[in-house]
Amino acid sequence: MATDTRALMGTAVAAHHAGKMAECDALCQSILALDPRHTEARLLSGIVAAKMGRTEAAIERLRQVVQVDSRSFAAFNWLAMLLRESDRVAEATECAERAVSLVPSEPDALNNLAMCYVRSNRSAEAVGAFSRAISIRPHQPLYHYGLATALDSLNRTQEAVEALEKAIRLSPDPSWMLQLGTVLLGEGQALKAAKICRRALDIEPNLALAHLLLSQALEDLGESDEAKDHFDSAIVLQPQPHEIYKIRGLRRQSIGQFQAARDDFQRSIEIEPSQGFAYYGLVSSARVTEDDRPLLAKIEQVIQTGRVAPSEAAYLHFALGKALDNLGDYAGAMDCFDEANRLVREARLLDRPFDRERMARRIDDTIALFCRERMSHALENATDSELPVFVVGMMRSGTTLLEQILSSHPEVGGAGEQSFWVNLQPSAVDFEGKRIDETAIVEGGPRFCRLMHELTPDRRFVIDKNPANFFALGSIHLGLPRARIIHMIRHPVDTCLSIYMTPIRNPADFGCDRSNIVFAYRQYLRLMAHWRSVLPSDRFLEVRYEDLVQDRQAATKQIVGFCGLEWDEGCMHPEENIRSVRTPSFWQVRQPVYTTSLDRWKRYEKVLGPFTDLLEP
């Protein structure tokens, strides 16, 4: 029998190499009929089933292989790919990690693992895996493209641009050019975005999204007639034109063209009523009034049909919640936010549950490592640049408003949310070993300054408003001892309510659950109390959101003075700042500074649930 199976296996392998999948599969089944424990035949039959599009059969066969051979790299790697494509991301990630542990130097396996991390919203780990794959096989364009996608999700914009440019040099893929154009346009580089779009259209003239993106870039450049021509082309070429209107609406929101954005979202809905995002775009572009009751009824009708995907359904519930909030039905609004967060939690966060113990331990370790003694001694050769200004705080605390106010000063630029220092932490700080790599921190200072200068040249100061930088203020101050840090503080319940009520592209692992949000907020307060005690007062300023809104001029003058700037009246009109706003605060920062968001929690007092704990003194 051994001779028979050996001969059959040789024939099966030859058939596989010749692309004769059905013949190969039949031969594998013949071998397994003779010897059910023939692992090599079962592995090949699983791979062949995958190539023939028989995904479930392939998964079952490959699972049988790993049950008897826990060191089968090929089985784990193929399982990871198939499970990821079948949206079983948690299991796919386990298989991919196992494959990499078996063969750490296989770049395709690292790429596979990185793609699993991307799907699990573990972008920082994805960056590491993509980077390892690139170090082994630097001329594979897919690895660079994957790296760019992960970097962009972390708001490491300049690095994402560089990775995309490398991918395009290796393989001039028009879809990658569009990704690059989108990033460039979001950073206000309309001329470069237009150039890359034209290059994509030279390769593929009928690419609808290239015409759309080019139209947006041309609008920014003041070329309205040509912009309209390209938008019209996009509508004609796009099989689902509602997507074109939705994308343009989102872009118009980001630059403060709210009525035009509403028109686009409305047109998108007219073409395709069974969706979610356009409804949220519509209600988030203006305050909802009683005249909008028909819109609410339409949203409820779409929800009741059950025809939209969970991610789109979540936007419907967020939209309805925002509308009911505007109309004063706070209990009804909270019911909608509860359902929206449940949908997001099930769709996006089940694969990465919030680990309270891990977060508390990380805060403990940070406080211990960056103690008063260490923070009081400057590192040798640390840069003395004052270019960066860091605006930090819990998300939804008003950091975007503060950035808009300060970047309205002619000597200040805004760089959005950069993840440079948060992502430097793993290599610079060994929490388990209780060690800090001072060289990595010192070298990080000039690299970060170069990045900020590239993003916003010819400015005396450039703002990094990543709220999560509060985790890394120790490294930031040691690497940039002359940099200024502004901590934005908002009423704790108002902050946590806003987190819960706002759809976020990449939700935090503690998001979507009220008790987890409260726990994370308390850990944030604990760490900020430490930074308050160890950072020098001339480099660290705390600003209350409520003061900035209620006594705007005094608070703004304090901020401007802290930066060593002369007063400029433009800081009193942040709504006129033409910067693109890529955070969920696009509506608020385009309005004159308003007080309606103060003590918002009082309207929800009867339905606060776990948030009530933050009212305790």
- Please tell me the predicted confidence (pLDDT) of residue 247: 84
Contact 414, 460 (CB under 8 A): no
Looking at residue 176, its pLDDT comes to 95
Query: Which of 338, 334, 358, 355 shows the shortest CA–CA distance to 346?
Result: 338
Burial (Cβ within 10 Å: 0-12, 13-18, ≥19) of residue 554: exposed
Looking at the DSSP bridge assignments, the partners of residue 484 are 389
Higher-confidence residue: 378 or 381? Answer: 381
Q: How far apart are CA 398 and CA 351, in angstroms?
A: 30
pLDDT in tens, 126-156: 999 999 999 999 999 999 999 999 988 877 7
The token pair at 197 is 């779009």
Q: If DSSP states are collapsed to H, E and C, what string results for 223-239?
A: CHHHHHHHHHHHHHHCC
pLDDT at 586: 40
Mind listing the pLDDT tens digit for each residue in 247-306? 888 888 887 888 999 999 999 999 999 999 999 999 999 899 999 999 999 999 999 998
pLDDT recorded at residue 353: 82
Q: How many residues does the chain have?
A: 617
Interior CA angle at 596 toward 281 and 525, to 5°?
Answer: 90
Cβ-based neighbour number of residue 132 at 10 Å: 18
At 225 the pLDDT is: 87
CB 400: neighbour CB atoms within 10 A? 26
Residue 240 in this model has a pLDDT that exceeds 60: yes
Long-range contacts of 359-364, Cβ-Cβ distance < 8 Å, separation of 24 or more = 359/510, 359/519, 359/520, 359/523, 360/523, 362/431, 362/471, 363/523, 363/526, 363/527
Q: What is the model's pLDDT at position 577?
A: 63
CA–CA distance, 14 with 356 (Å, rounded to integer) = 53
pLDDT over 60 (residue 581): no
Contact between 490 and 416 (Cβ < 8 Å):
no
Query: Once rounded to an integer, what is the mean pLDDT over residues 584-597?
Result: 49
Q: How far apart are CA 153 and CA 158, in angstroms?
A: 12
What is the rounded average pLDDT of the residues 358-364?
95
Phi, psi of 488 (to 5 degrees): -90, 125
pLDDT of residue 571 exceeding 50: yes
Chain-centroid distance of CA 5 in Å reads 51
pLDDT category at 595 given cuts 50, 70, 90 is low
Confidence (pLDDT) at 402? 93
CA distance 479 to 464: 15
Q: Decide if pLDDT at 582 tops 50.
A: no
- Among residues 527, 526, 569, 563, the alpha carbon closest in space to that of 543 is found at 563
Answer whether residue 229 shows pLDDT above 50: yes
Beta-strand runs (E) in 293-405: 388-392
Pairing of strands 540-544, 484-489: parallel
Report which secondary-structure segment, H or E, holds 544: strand 540-544
Does the pTM surpass 0.75? The reply is no
Q: What angle do CA 418, 420, 425 make, to 5 degrees?
A: 135
pLDDT-derived band at 116 (thresholds 50, 70, 90) equals very high
What pLDDT score does 123 carry?
85
Half-sphere exposure of 609 (CA within 13 A, CB side): 14
Paired tokens of 239: 């099989």
Q: Is 503 left (phi over 0), alpha (psi -120 to 50) or beta?
A: beta
Rg (CA), the chain: 27
Fill in the DSSP letter of residue 345: I
CB 118 within 8 A of CB 146: yes
* Mean per-residue pLDDT, 56-61: 92
Model confidence over 406-459: pLDDT tens digits? 999 999 999 888 878 987 888 899 988 889 999 999 999 999 999 888 878 889
Name every residue whose Cβ is closer than 8 Å to that of residue 604 and which is 6 or more positions away in sequence.
330, 333, 334, 497, 611
Per-residue confidence (pLDDT) for residue 590, from 0 to 100: 39
Three-class SS of residue 486? strand
> C-alpha angle with apex 387: 381 to 392, nearest 5 degrees?
100
Q: What mean pLDDT is reported for the chain?
A: 90
pLDDT tens digits for 292-318?
999 999 999 999 998 888 889 999 999
Tokens (6 digits) for 19: 């692309």
For position 219, what pLDDT does the model report?
Answer: 84
Tell whether the model's pLDDT for residue 611 goes beyond 70.
yes
Angstrom CA distances, 492 to 39, 269, 531, 546, 556, stand at 58, 36, 18, 12, 22
| pLDDT surpasses 80 at 28 | yes
pLDDT-derived band of residue 591, with 50, 70 and 90 as boundaries? very low
